[in-house]
Amino acid sequence: MYELASLVEVRLWELDKNLELTTEDIFDILCQEYQLNADSLEKELSCKCPFALTGFLRELERTEVDYYSAIE
């Protein structure tokens, strides 16, 4: 879903400016802020990389994004 990926990417760059945050911290923050299921995404990506997350979200269809939503 390109729109969500763009929003996440903008926030990623904002968070990345904070030198005290690790990439794993940023991944968790992004998932929490955008109500994404961090565990499912970590398993799918095999990592907690926020840069991989944005690329992955860009490739998803709208119905696929719902699968990774933390809202049930």
pLDDT in tens, 19-63: 899 999 999 999 999 999 999 999 999 999 999 999 999 998 877
1: pLDDT confidence band, cut at 50, 70 and 90? Answer: low
The whole-model pTM stands at: 0.88
Structure tokens at 47: 């990592």
Structure tokens at 57: 């979200």
User: Across residues 7-23, what is the average pLDDT?
Assistant: 93
CA-CA distance, 3 to 42, in Å (whole number)? 21
CA-CA distance, 25 to 70, in Å (whole number)? 17
* Residue 31 buriedness (CB in 10 A; 0-12 / 13-18 / 19+): buried
For residue 66, the model assigns a pLDDT of 84
